[in-house]
Amino acid sequence: MRYYIIIPAYNEEAFMAVTLQSLVEQTILPSKIIVVNDNSTDRTPEIISEFSQKYPFISLVNKVSNAIHLPGSKVIQAFHEGEKHIDDDYDILVKIDADLIFPPNYFETVIKHFESDDRIGMAGGFCYIEKNGEWILENLTDKDHIRGALKAYRKETFKQIGGLKPAMGWDTVDELLCKFYNWKVVTNESLHVKHLKPTGANYNKAARYKQGEAFYTLGYGFIITSIASLKLALRKGKPLLFLDYIKGYWKAKRENKTMLVTPEQAKFIRNYRLQKMKEKLF
């Protein structure tokens, strides 16, 4: 199966080279790698260019955008820019971050998952971060969720869910829409990917209410938002974030923010989330 990779990159000179090196050492190489340099002010574009000269399947795309780094919108707008530079001759489309080190068999294993079942719509491994000299699981989500840093989509699935939404919550709504359309989401615990920069390290204070806004636009409703907010705040080791998330939810509701899903999809999502919560409790 042919796979294309799109990498949004903003000021990643510390990690860009090792990320690309891990990709060119894959046991099954990608047919295309599009790296979108999103208004970087460091050596990121030069590093990409050096790799593109050596490996013809790597391309540099330059994008000029607002320098404010908010979760979701900026990175997906860069991803969309990358989409303009690919054709339709792929089986799997991959969105990854520019601060990862993949094991050499990563994409060979992902491809095997897709080949094993034509109803698998998404597949991925797990992010590990370095702590006290050891690589440990970056435990921010349940193990049935694929982190936004390393998403791989079957082409038919990607098109049916409508691609990626340029808003926080994009890497949750994609999986929920997969479930809505009866696609399977597969995670592989044997695939350990080194995540060199902790999630959210560059987000500014304006981002703190965005998670609650995302819960609103996903159609969660207040009860599910409250449970999800508390769970996430505790996982991050910052219980007071719960209040920010709830404030963000009510702010989005007051402003009648545009939903990421249809009313029918929102109803499915609420039922699905409640069912998952019941399974964990009982």
Q: Are residues 213 and 189 part of one domain?
A: no
Specify whether the CB–CB gap between 261 and 177 falls below 8 A: yes
Counting the structural domains of the chain, the total is: 2
Collect all residues with Cβ–Cβ distance below 8 Å to 77 and sequence separation of at least 6.
Answer: 38, 63, 65, 166
150-154 and 120-131 strand pairing: antiparallel
Question: Does one domain contain both 226 and 101?
Answer: no
One domain, residues 143 and 227: no
Helices (H), the chain: 16-24, 44-54, 73-83, 106-116, 155-160, 170-180, 210-217, 221-235, 241-254, 263-281
Do 15 and 124 lie in a common domain?
yes
**Residue-by-residue pLDDT tens, the chain, 282 positions:** 999 999 999 999 999 999 999 999 999 999 999 999 999 999 999 999 999 999 999 999 998 866 555 556 789 999 999 999 999 999 999 999 999 999 999 999 999 999 999 999 999 999 999 998 899 998 766 788 999 999 999 999 999 999 999 888 899 999 999 999 999 999 999 999 999 987 654 445 566 788 899 999 999 999 999 999 998 888 888 888 999 999 999 999 999 999 999 999 999 999 999 998 888 777
Asked if the structure places residue 201 within a domain, the reply is no
Same domain, 223 and 124: no
Q: Decide if 142 is inside a domain.
A: yes
